[in-house]
Each structure stands twice: as C-alpha cells, then as structure tokens.
C-alpha cells in the first residue's frame, strides 16, 4: 500500500513537473517570437536611419555645392558687375537680331604721333603732334563665294586734311585650280612690311628703302591679284602671287603711265624646329619710268632731266628679297628677325641714280606681355642722289608698351645720316599711340 | 612662238602636272585639319587610321594670339574637314580661312565641325564692353579642361565625321563611345581624388580654368590678370595678395606660355605655390594625349594641395 501510494505520488509529481516544463517551453517560444519581431523592427529602423543618413549626406553635398556656386557668383559680381554668369545662349547665335546681323564688321584704328626732330627741311613740321591716321575698317562676306574688305583713312596732316581709300578689295575664293582672286585697291604684295598698315608696324614708320622706292606709306594701288599655293606632294608651302596694278603708283614708277605695273611675288616657309620658323620671299616689279623731275646732285646743285623720247616701256625693274625668322620662346616671349633688300635696274635716267638699292634689318623682341623692344638698321642708296658711295644710313631703336591688346604706346629714336651732302644728320624722337575699337582682324600675311 | 610664250606655257604645264601629281600621290586618307592639338588627339581617337590629322596652333603658344603660317594656309587649303573649338577662342580662324579660300569651310557646311555645340557655357557676358578686358562674345571658350565637355566634343566630332562620311559612321560612333567610356572611368577616379579638396580657394593667371574649377569643386578667389587679357598691374598684385592671405589661398594655377615672374612674386609673398597646368595636348612633355594631360593636371594639383595640407 505504501509502495502504491509512493508510485501514485511520483506519477503526480512527474505530471506536475512535465506540465511546468511544457508551460516554460511555450513561454520561451513566445519570447523567441517576440525577440524575432523586435529584431526585425530594429533592422527596419536601422535601414531607415541609414537611408536618412545618406539623404542628409547628399543634401549636405548639394548645399556645399550651392554655397560654392553662390560664393563664386558673388565674387564675379564683385569683380565684374557687367559680367555675371548668365544663362547660356545658343552657341553661334548672332548677338544682333534681325537684318542688323548682316551689317559688316566695323573697326576703328587711331594713330597719334608726336615728333621731335632736328631736320629743318621737314615740310610736315619738325616738332609736332598730330592725329596721323584714323582708319575705318569694314569687312563682311558677300556671298558663299566671296567677301569685301575696305580700309578708309582719315588724315590730319599739316598740308591737308583728307579722306582716302587705303584699301577696298573684293576677294573671290574657289577659282579654277584653287586660285584666289582679288580686285580693287590693295596693299601690293611686295616683301613683308609693305603689306602692313601703319598701326601694324613694329616701328613708327616704314623702312627707308620702302619709303624711297614705293612712297611714304608703301605701294598700294588699284588692280587685280591672283594667288595660289603651288601644289606639291611634299606639302612644302610655296605661295605665288601675280598682280597687275595701275601704273601711276609708287615713287619708282611713272606718274602718268597708262601701262600697268606688273608684280610677282613668291614665298616659301619652313619650320626650323618646333619653336622656330623661317619665311623667304622674292618680289619682282616691272613698270614705266617716272616723268622728268628736278634732282639734287652730289655737289648740291639742282639738275633737271628732260627726256625728249617719252617714257621707256617697262624701263623700271625692281627686284627684292625678304627673310623673316621667328623664334617662339617660353613664357610668351618671341624673337623676330626680319630683313628686306631691294635693288632697281633702270634703263633711263629720270632719277639721278640708275642703280638704287637698299635694305633694312629689323630685330624685334617681345620681352613680356607688357613690353617689346627692337632696333631697325636702314641702308639706302636713294633714287634721287647721284654718285657712288652716297648712301643714307639709319638706326632706329624702339620700345613698345602694350597697355592691352587694343592700345599700345611706342617710343622710337632715329638717327639718320643722309646720302646728300646738303642735308645734315638728323636725330628724331617719336612717341606714337595706337588704339583700336570694334572688330579688327589682320589678314594672314 | 617666242621664248616668253614657251616659258609661260611651260610654267602652266608644270603647275597643272604638279596639281595632278599631288592628287595621285596622296594617300587615300581623310585629310583633317584641327585648330588645336587637343582636337587633333580626340579626332585621332575617333578616326584612327582612316584620317590624316594636322593641328594648326602650337600648344606652347597662347591660343588667342597665334599667328597662322603659310604651312597652315596650305594645310587648310587641302583639307577635307576642319575641326575647331567654335565661339571666339581662335580669333585667327576667320583670317586663316580667308587666306586658304577653301569653299568647304565657309558657313555651316558638313565639313566644318564645331565641337562646342551642346556645351553649357560659363561667364556669358550680359553686355559687351572692352572695359571688361578681352572678354569673349559667347562666353568662356576654355571648356576643354572639363573632361565631361571632352565627351561632348568627342560626340560632336564623331557625329560630324559620320555626317561627312556616312559609310564610316558606325566606326566613328563606336570609337567615340569607347573613348567616352574610358573618360567615364577616369572622371570617376579624378573626382574621387579631388573630393577632399572641394571648396579649396585657388587663384588662376587667366580666366581659363572656370570649367575645371566647376567640375572639381574649387573656388576661384582671383586672377593674376586684373581683367582677361590685361597684364597685371602693381596695384592689382597687392590687392590679390591681400585677398589670398585672407582666404588662405595656397595654389596659383598658370599655363606654360604665361610669364612666371608675377605668379612667383605673389606666391613668395603669400606662401602659395605656383602650379603650371596644361590646357592643350603637347603643352607639356607629360600631356601626350587628352587623358594623360588631365591626369597630369590632377596629379600636380593633388601634390600641391596635399603638400599644403601636410598629408
């Protein structure tokens, strides 16, 4: 009986224990499930926090970028109120609306020269200041095949105030065999400096030989020009130019001739190195002689030549050679050495000298963005001085101050020892200002 | 027939035969002339062996003031395609085209490719006055130094070539896409390397780094030139040095063709460093192509900025 009671009691104890264990297991399961739910909630929250963090980060970047832009814009506004960044306009869109967009490019170049000189024979005034030239440049494409360029000059010299057409020529591209044609009035393709306008020169004036042979401002004449590059399989640039010019231009040629002046020019070019190049050119001109003139001979007396037989047909032959060396140095500096030589073969004696010749050598050094300096040496056996060993020698050092691309000031000293015994040596000091407004592009020479 | 006539007839025949010989002699490649060396490099990446590319302006000279040579005239005269940077960067482009007289490049024809199309321009002037210096009519044209713009340029070149030579259109487009993919990878790398320098104030010599600065997040606080194209004055240099000290500017960026003396003087006074970066392929020895040019620019800036940061 006691054993039976013990067994029943043990059974009940076991049942109770088992029930308790079962109850604990259920609670544990619930706890686990709750834990899982909580874990998922934490993960969800973590992911939300991550997203928020990245959003804040990207917003911070945007804010930083905007701050940079605002700072930059404020700076631009401070420095250049006219030039705050604006909405981009369509690239290449004309800025002038309507029919005005077809107006030609217009530029105005001013050239004021002050001069101190010892030369008492100077008719233009010894010590003077003058607006030497005001050049109006007009250029525009005419149609898909051609363009028109014009340079009109207003002069304020002592003798007369006038307006002259310096250049006015029509260019036609795409002629047979690749020729380019020009008609009108243009600066003749003679050497290098003759092609340039006064404001484009390194010095304040043209070289003596150019002035003596072709006039105070070089040879510019009405006529026609054909130009081309000689094609060759080696791609050597050889440019040839032929011109027919009105015959009454230049000091060397007749003032009354009805026959034209013929000019031919050839040039080639080669690279000496990556930073240096050389250009070589050759000019030949044929024209009529000048009419009779009064000249001063070597003894200082005036002599008049009268030719009974009229003009010589193509009695003047001018030959010239030019060489330009360019060397591009680091930091925007540049050295240029330019030389031109001309000599004449004249069949008559309308000018005193039947074999005039001359040359110049110019060294120009661009020292910096602001300054350049150079010197030109001139040698000339002029047209109007007779006799051997009579030559004019000139030396002209100069300094240029480049205020900007559009305004510069030149100081030049020139010493001239004249060929004529009558004229004393001259010392001259020039101060010249060039300034330009509007559109002004120099043609490729 | 007299001797003069014979001479001129001989000259005429010689010219004609040279003309014909040149055409026969020429290798059958598309003759392309580009205004800059950078454009020449990108064009080669797109057209490879199908083209013969000649670049006009020397990368070692200021692009604004380049003077075209007779060789340039000849090359433009003979070219089939002209690739240029558009806007008014190459002020000499018009006179060069006039001298060459190649009718293919007049107007907006198929053979003249303007790579600036589609580029968002910065610093577009709201009014035009030279009182602001040598400003540009259409906006800042120095967009090449933003590599994202190089991708637009490459696409413009490939589309331009595809239009002119439709038979090779797929070839040009495929190569442009490959070039742009290469650039994408590099841009990611460059942006990553420059990220820690965002907001760093810098000074440049000329206003030619605006696109680069915009891309990499620097801030330009001044230029050595008082206004674009105007040489620095003593007064401006003093003012700039003051601003640089106030804003702790540590880097002055210049190009190889700009003078060293003024930036060095300012750097000496302010403790900044002068860094010469390239704007064009070939401007420096390391800038062999567009990607190496930009890589070199990033590397030099990284070195300068990390040195100043003391990394």
Pick from B210, B239, B244, B245: nearest CA to B226: B239
B90 pLDDT above the threshold of 60: yes
Residue A210 CA, distance from chain mean position: 23
Chain B residue with the nearest C-alpha to that of A93: B138
pLDDT for A83: 36
Does residue B27 sit at the A interface (CB-CB below 8 Å)?
Answer: no
Interchain proximity A330–B256, CB inside 8 Å: yes
Integer angstrom CA distances of residue A310 from A289, A295, A313, A315, A342:
9, 18, 9, 11, 26
The C-alpha atoms of residue A359 and residue A210 are separated, in whole angstroms, by: 9
**Range of lowest pLDDT (A306-320, A354-368, B91-105, B222-236):** A306-320
Per-residue pLDDT tens over the stretch B134-191 = 778 888 899 999 999 999 999 999 999 999 889 989 999 999 999 999 999 999 999 8
d(CA B105, CA B84): 11
Look at residue A69 in the predicted model and tell me its pLDDT.
55
The residues near A324 (Cβ < 8 Å, ≥ 6 apart) are A192, A278, A279, A336, A337, A338, A339
Rounded Cα gap, residues A369 and A405, in angstroms: 9
**pLDDT higher at A55 or B226:** B226
Q: Is B71 on the interface with A (CB under 8 A)?
A: yes
- pLDDT value for B20: 64
- Computed over every residue of chain B, the mean pLDDT equals 86
Question: Which chain B residues touch A95 with a CB distance below 8 Å?
Answer: 128, 137
Which among A91, A237, A331 has CB closest to B73? Answer: A237
Distance from the A419 Cα atom to the nearest Cα atom in chain B, whole angstroms: 38
- Contact between residue A251 and residue A213 where contact means Cβ atoms under 8 Å apart: yes
pLDDT higher at B106 or A116: A116
pLDDT for res A202: 93
Query: Hey, what are B22's tokens?
Result: 């040149």
**Average pLDDT value for residue range B34-48:** 92
Closest to B41 in 3D by CA, of B182, B184, B189, B188 = B182
Question: What is the reported pLDDT for A89?
Answer: 39
Confidence of residue B22 (pLDDT cuts 50, 70, 90): low
Q: Is B102 on the interface with A (CB under 8 A)?
A: yes
Q: How far apart are CA A68 and CA A59, in angstroms?
A: 14
Q: How many residues does chain A have?
A: 445
Distance of alpha carbon B304 from alpha carbon B271, whole angstroms: 12
Q: Which residue has the tokens 């404020």?
A: A74
Distance CA A428, CA B181 (A): 66
CB contact under 8 A, A274 and B126: no
A106 to chain B: which residues are within 8 Å by CB? none
Q: How much is the pLDDT for A445?
A: 74
More confident residue, A123 or B3: B3
CA distance A346 to A263: 16
Rg of chain A in Å (alpha carbons): 43
Question: Any bridge partners for residue B81, and if so which?
Answer: B32
Q: Which residues of A touch B70 (CB under 8 A)?
A: 229, 237, 239, 267-269, 279
For chain B, give the percent of residues with pLDDT over 70.
94
**Mean pLDDT lowest among A253-257, B127-131, B178-182, B214-218:** A253-257
Crossing angle (nearest 10°) for helices B37-47 and B290-309: 120
What pLDDT, on the 0 to 100 scale, is given for residue B199? 87
Along the 445 residues of chain A, how does pLDDT read in single tens digits? 565 666 666 666 656 555 555 656 667 777 788 888 888 888 878 777 777 766 666 666 556 556 555 554 554 444 333 333 333 333 334 444 556 677 888 999 999 999 888 876 655 557 888 888 899 999 988 888 889 999 999 988 766 678 889 999 999 988 888 899 999 999 999 999 999 998 899 999 999 999 999 988 889 999 999 999 888 888 889 999 999 998 777 677 866 666 888 999 999 999 998 889 999 999 999 888 755 556 677 777 777 655 545 556 677 889 999 999 999 998 889 999 999 999 998 765 567 777 889 999 999 999 988 899 999 999 998 887 766 667 889 999 999 999 988 899 999 999 988 877 667 788 899 999 999 998 877 777 7
Residue B199 contacts A, CB cutoff 8 Å? yes
Residue B31 touches chain A, beta carbons under 8 Å: no
Provide the 10 A C-beta neighbour count for residue A347: 13
Q: Residue B253: phi, psi to the nearest 5?
A: -100, 130
Q: Which residue of B has its CA nearest to A63?
A: B199
Residue A69 burial (10 A CB sphere; 0-12, 13-18, 19+): middle
pTM: 0.78
Contact (CB, 8 A) for A309 and B238: no
More confident: B86 or A412: A412
Residue to substitute from B57, B69, B75, interface A, most A β-carbons within 10 A: B69
Compute how many other C-beta atoms are within 10 angstroms of the C-beta atom of residue A16.
10
What integer is the mean pLDDT of B100-107? 82
- Give CA–CA dist B266/B239, Å, rounded: 10
Are the CB atoms for A336 and A324 separated by under 8 Å?
A: yes
**Spatial separation of the C-alpha atoms in residues B171 and B156, rounded to whole Å:** 14
């Amino acid at each position: 009986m006691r054993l039976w009671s013990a067994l029943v009691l043990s059974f009940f104890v076991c049942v109770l224990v088992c029930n308790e264990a079962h109850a604990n297991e259920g609670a544990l399961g619930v706890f686990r499930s709750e834990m899982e739910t909580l874990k998922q909630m934490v993960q969800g929250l973590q992911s939300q926090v991550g997203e928020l963090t990245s959003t804040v980060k990207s917003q911070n970047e945007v804010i930083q970028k905007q701050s940079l832009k605002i700072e930059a814009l404020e700076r631009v506004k401070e420095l250049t109120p006219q030039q705050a960044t604006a909405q981009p306009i369509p690239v290449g869109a004309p800025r002038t609306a309507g029919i005005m967009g077809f107006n030609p490019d217009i530029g105005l170049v001013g050239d004021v020269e002050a001069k101190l000189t010892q030369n008492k024979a100077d008719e233009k005034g010894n010590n003077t200041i003058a607006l030497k030239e005001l050049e109006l440049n007009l250029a525009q494409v005419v149609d898909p095949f051609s363009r028109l360029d014009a340079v009109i000059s207003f002069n304020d010299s002592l003798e007369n105030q006038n307006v002259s057409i310096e250049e006015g020529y029509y260019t036609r591209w795409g002629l047979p065999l690749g020729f380019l044609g020009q008609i009108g009035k243009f600066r003749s393709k003679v050497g290098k400096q003759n092609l340039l306008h006064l404001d484009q020169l390194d010095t304040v004036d043209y070289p003596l030989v150019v002035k003596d042979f072709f006039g105070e401002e070089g040879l510019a004449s009405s006529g026609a020009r054909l130009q081309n590059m000689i094609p060759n399989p080696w791609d050597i640039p050889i440019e040839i130019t032929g011109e027919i010019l009105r015959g009454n231009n230049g000091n060397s040629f007749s003032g009354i001739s009805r026959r034209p002046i013929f000019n031919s020019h050839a040039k080639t070019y080669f690279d000496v190195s990556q930073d240096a190049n050389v250009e070589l050119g050759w000019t030949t001109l044929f024209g009529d002689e000048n009419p009779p003139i009064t000249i001063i001979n070597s003894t200082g007396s005036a002599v008049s030549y009268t030719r009974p037989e009229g003009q010589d047909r193509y009695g003047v032959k001018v030959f010239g050679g030019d060489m330009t060396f360019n060397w591009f140095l680091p930091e925007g500096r540049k050295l240029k050495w330019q030389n031109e030589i001309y000599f004449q073969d004249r069949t008559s004696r309308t000018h005193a000298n039947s074999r005039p010749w001359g040359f110049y050598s110019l060294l120009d050094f661009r020292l910096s963005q602001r300054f350049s300096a150079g010197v030109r040496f001139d040698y000339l056996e002029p047209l109007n001085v007779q006799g051997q060993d009579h030559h004019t020698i000139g030396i002209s050092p100069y300094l240029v101050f480049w205020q900007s691309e559009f305004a510069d000031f030149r100081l030049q000293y020139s010493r001239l020892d004249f060929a004529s015994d009558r004229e004393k040596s001259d010392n001259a000091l020039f101060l010249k200002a060039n300034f330009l407004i509007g559109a002004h592009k120099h043609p490729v020479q | 027939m007299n001797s003069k006539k014979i001479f001129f007839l001989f000259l005429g025949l010689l010219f004609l035969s040279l003309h014909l010989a040149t055409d026969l002699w020429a290798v059958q490649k598309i003759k392309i002339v580009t205004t800059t060396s950078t454009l020449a490099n990108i064009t080669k990446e797109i057209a490879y062996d199908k083209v013969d590319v000649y670049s006009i302006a020397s990368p070692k000279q200021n692009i604004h003031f380049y003077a075209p040579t007779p060789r340039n005239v000849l090359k433009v005269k003979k070219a089939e395609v002209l690739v240029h940077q558009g806007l008014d960067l190459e002020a000499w482009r018009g006179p060069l085209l006039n001298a060459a007289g190649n009718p293919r490049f007049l107007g907006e024809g198929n053979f003249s490719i303007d790579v600036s199309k589609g580029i968002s321009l910065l610093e577009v002037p709201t009014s035009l006055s030279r009182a602001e210096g040598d400003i540009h009519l259409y906006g800042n044209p120095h967009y090449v130094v933003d590599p994202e713009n190089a991708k637009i340029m490459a696409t413009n070149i490939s589309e331009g070539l595809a239009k002119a030579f439709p038979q090779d259109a797929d070839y040009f487009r495929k190569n442009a896409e490959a070039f742009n993919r290469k650039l994408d990878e590099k841009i990611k790398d460059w942006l990553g390397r420059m990220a820690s320098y965002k907001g760093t104030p810098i000074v440049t010599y000329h206003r030619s780094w605006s696109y680069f600065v915009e891309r990499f997040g620097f801030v330009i606080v001044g230029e050595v030139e008082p206004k674009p194209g105007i040489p620095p004055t003593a007064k401006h240099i003093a003012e700039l040095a003051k601003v640089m000290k106030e804003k702790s500017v540590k880097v002055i960026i210049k190009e190889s063709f700009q003078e060293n003396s003024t930036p060095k003087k300012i750097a000496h006074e302010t403790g900044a460093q002068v860094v010469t970066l390239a704007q064009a392929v070939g401007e420096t020895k390391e800038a062999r192509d567009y990607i190496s040019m930009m890589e070199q620019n990033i590397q030099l800036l990284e070195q300068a900025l990390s040195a100043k940061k003391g990394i």
